Chains A and B, each alone.
Chain A
Amino acid sequence: MPNYNYKMKILVVDDFSTMRRIVKNVLKQLGFENVEEAEDGEQAYSKLQNGSFEFVVSDWNMPNTDGLEMLKKIRADAQLKEMPVLMVTAEAEKEKVIEAIKAGVNNYVVKPFTAEVLKEKMDKIFDKLGK
């Protein structure tokens, strides 16, 4: 298990505020309290540019800039390209996950998910980064 810095700043991206709250709540259960929110990829990207975020949990389907577009922008940005990104997807989008993997997503999680599942995914991401 990776050695987590529980103070790390996490960005939760979703256009539906209830979802942001739910994800924040799940993160809180895991001990992460330093969480900020963004409403879409556009807003998230500008927040990431200005803030010292260490992890992004993003929805896929959003108006304006969706999760995939945001991911591509992050990977193309010299400052942000190493940013770990976890994509939240729905069952129906499973076939599209391949696209996200090609674009460089670190992992994905299908909603609804529990705190345990999220932890598993985060462990995988941060284990790899630690190596």
Chain B
Amino acid sequence: MVDFIQNCLDGIMLGSSYALLAIGFTLIFGVMRRLNLSYGPSIMVGAFIGTLVYLEFKANAVAIAAATVVGAVIVGIYVERLCFRAIRRGAAVASMVSSFVIWMQLEEIVTVVFPDRTYPFPPLVTADPIELGPLFFKVENIVMFAVAAAMTVLLHWLLQHTRFGLALRAVSENPRAALFMGINVGAVMSLAFVIASAFGGVAAYLIVSADGQITPLFGLWATFKGLIAMMLGGMGSIPGAILGGLLLGVVEAQSIWYLGTEYRDLSAYFLLFLFLVFRPGGLMGQLAVERELAATRRV
């Protein structure tokens, strides 16, 4: 029983990093209705820029985090301009494939510039795990969890209590109607992309500093974990992204413990497949999916 609870806790801690990734994913998907496969790789580039700052200038944690976020935002803007802004709406497949080739491009640029593949990344905190009775907590995971919670609150405030949030929700609901209301749709989308990239940069910094190292494979990992967490939670729902991330973490932790490491990803994908078949809306998005289905039936 203690094992099970410890696994759940480990899973929630692991899941908080997935939740961090899923938030940025959800924000972009919610507004654009298009999938950005380059999301993981662009924050990976940000993290490599952080590493560069660390190795070249022996900078402190704040400077490294800032470099990571700024790097992620710059690459994010590049992706948005090339893959989303320039390709007209309605060509969702083209955007997605375009973001995929840019992923490949970013990965190769990183391997050319950083030929050693694995680079050190300074840890944010170097504290011993906290013991609470028979249970263990890792400090860096608690930080991650706290940041994920703070980000959710911040996003909620931004979306629900600012004019920008109102415009963003309008664009997400119906871009054309938003345009008629005098909203600058392009600017809103770009800004949403920048915010998502900044959140992604923070996520990348926390995850990579908890690992203590970075490789170009981080991009693939981040894209897929973020995507799975987003789908489990329900597309376009921020609370869903958090719950989806935590669920993914718990399922992975339990399957590592009870089935073995080789079953970790297998059970994650199996869970995703089951969700898609039986509850495609995920934990929080089922209502939207059913509304859409009902609308189709009415037609």
A and B form one complex: no
